[in-house]
């Protein structure tokens, strides 16, 4: 299997994430050459009044354990030994936390 399919899958996810933020009037853009050139961290940058969010996008066949842990809860906090804690949220919930207007439920994630 070539590397083109996983790259296209990742590109699709990045575009969908950017489009969802933009649909809610939140400035976001894909990072050029992300992951392949030093100085271009992350895949997507979201511009918020509190500061920029640099997001890494991963698209895989499955993340069964993470999805089962999250279940119907609002968020999941993960922490490895001697590592900082991480937060896992559904993308729509992150958007709701970032948004400062009237939330439009009809604009959902298409990724």
Question: Residue 61 has what pLDDT?
Answer: 86
Q: Is 54 inside a domain boundary?
A: yes
Q: How confident is the model at residue 19 (pLDDT cuts 50, 70, 90)?
A: very high
For residues 98 and 11, give the distance between their C-alpha atoms in angstroms, rounded to a whole number.
Answer: 23
Q: Is 109 inside a domain boundary?
A: no
Q: Is 8 inside a domain boundary?
A: yes
For residues 25 and 71, give the distance between their C-alpha atoms in angstroms, rounded to a whole number.
Answer: 29
Q: Percent of the chain, pLDDT > 70?
A: 84
Q: Is 103 inside a domain boundary?
A: no
Give the SS3 label for residue 44: strand
Q: Shortest CA distance to 14 belongs to which of 25, 98, 33, 24?
A: 33
Q: Is 39 inside a domain boundary?
A: yes
Q: Is 71 inside a domain boundary?
A: yes
Q: Is 111 inside a domain boundary?
A: no
φ, ψ (nearest 5 deg) of residue 91: -55, -40
* 69-80 per-position pLDDT tens digit: 999 999 999 999
Q: Is 19 inside a domain boundary?
A: yes
For residues 58 and 6, give the distance between their C-alpha atoms in angstroms, rounded to a whole number.
Answer: 10
Give the number of domains in the chain.
1
Q: Which domain holds residue 20?
A: 4-98
């Amino acid at each position: 299997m070539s590397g083109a399919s996983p790259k296209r899958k990742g590109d699709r996810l990045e575009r969908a994430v950017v489009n969802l933020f933009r649909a809610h009037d939140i400035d976001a853009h894909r990072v050029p050459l992300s992951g392949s050139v030093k100085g271009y961290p992350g895949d997507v940058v979201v511009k918020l009044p509190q500061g920029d969010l640099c997001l890494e996008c991963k698209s895989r066949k499955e993340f069964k354990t993470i999805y089962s842990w999250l279940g119907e809860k609002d968020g999941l906090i993960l922490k490895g030994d001697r590592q900082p804690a991480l937060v896992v949220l559904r993308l729509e919930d992150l958007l709701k936390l970032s948004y400062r207007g009237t939330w439009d439920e009809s604009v959902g994630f298409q990724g």
